[in-house]
């Protein structure tokens, strides 16, 4: 994939999804962090149904740090893997209170040091909470589209991100995080992708290889 085609792909997707944005609901950086942690192996829709009742009572790192772990597990139970997520959220809240004066740090290194926050999550937090995109969050949609279009032949998210960053200019990082997800949900689905109606056919390795079959 060359930079010229990469930009054309991004511009085409921007035209297709002009309203593309983050689908997680949040009001503060800490709420964004909590929502991102809960979204692991869980739909954004489920997270958005779960968090309002939590944030109405517990919305700060101090609230989470002071909360009984069993109560936290009960509150986030609908999002799955609740024991691990509760443990990570409580410990993260404690670290934020003890080390960062209750403020979510706005840099990748510090974010990735928090329990339950990997590179993908840190990328999302930097973009959504601080409007400071540092890279491209490689979720299942981004991974699938990057592989199908020919941005990357890697399977490891970190390597896929590096391949994307080589050809996508930094000014597009914010857009890519959103439009890849929307395209993955609406057209380039995991099962039965709508290739015949996709506007990216001319660039797509997946389409071209299947067309020849």
Structure tokens at 12: 């085409």
CA geometry: angle 192, 155, 111, nearest 5 deg: 110
Q: Do residues 163 and 136 make contact, with C-beta atoms less than 8 angstroms apart?
A: no
Query: Mind listing the pLDDT tens digit for each residue in 72-113?
Result: 999 999 999 999 999 999 999 999 999 999 999 999 999 999
* Alpha carbon distance 59, 125 (integer Å): 16
Under 8 Å between Cβ of 152 and 128? no
**Mean pLDDT for the stretch of residues 188-201:** 95
Does the pLDDT at position 213 exceed 80? no
Q: What are the C-alpha distances in Å from 182 to residues 14, 16, 21, 56, 73?
A: 10, 9, 9, 29, 31
Structure tokens at 122: 């840190």
Give catalytic residue positions: 120, 139
Dist. CA 180–CA 189, nearest whole Å: 11
Collapsed DSSP state (helix, strand, coil) of residue 108 = helix
> What are the boundaries of each domain within the chain?
3-20+136-211, 29-128
The total number of residues written for the chain in this structure: 213
- For the structural domain made of 29-128, what CATH number should be given? 1.10.340.30
Query: 115-166 pLDDT, tens per residue?
Result: 999 999 999 999 999 999 999 999 999 999 999 999 999 999 999 999 999 9
Question: At 67, phi and psi to the nearest 5?
Answer: -70, 140
CATH (one of 3.40.640.10, 1.10.1670.10, 3.40.190.10, 1.10.10.10) for 3-20+136-211? 1.10.1670.10
For the chain, the 3-state helix, strand and coil shares in percent, each to the nearest 5, are: 65, 0, 35
Mean pLDDT, the chain, rounded, equals: 95
């Amino acid at each position: 994939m060359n930079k010229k085609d990469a930009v054309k792909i991004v511009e085409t997707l921007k035209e297709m999804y002009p309203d593309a944005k983050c689908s997680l609901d949040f009001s503060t950086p800490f709420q964004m962090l909590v929502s991102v942690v809960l979204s692991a192996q869980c739909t954004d829709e489920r997270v958005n149904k779960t968090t309002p009742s939590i944030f109405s009572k517990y919305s700060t790192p101090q609230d989470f740090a002071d909360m009984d772990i069993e109560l936290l597990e009960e509150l986030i139970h609908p999002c799955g893997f609740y024991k691990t997520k509760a443990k990570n959220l409580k410990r993260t809240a404690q670290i934020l209170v003890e080390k960062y004066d209750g403020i979510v740090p706005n840099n990748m290194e510090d974010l990735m040091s928090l329990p339950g926050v990997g590179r993908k999550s840190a990328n999302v937090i930097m973009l959504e909470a601080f409007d400071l995109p540092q890279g491209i969050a490689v979720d299942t949609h981004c991974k699938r589209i990057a592989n199908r279009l020919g941005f990357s032949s890697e399977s490891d998210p970190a390597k896929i991100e590096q391949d994307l960053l080589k050809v996508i200019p930094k000014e597009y990082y914010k857009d890519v995080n959103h439009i890849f997800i929307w395209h993955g949900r609406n057209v380039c689905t995991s099962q039965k992708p709508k290739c015949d109606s996709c506007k990216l056919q001319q660039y797509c390795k997946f389409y071209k290889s299947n067309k020849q079959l």
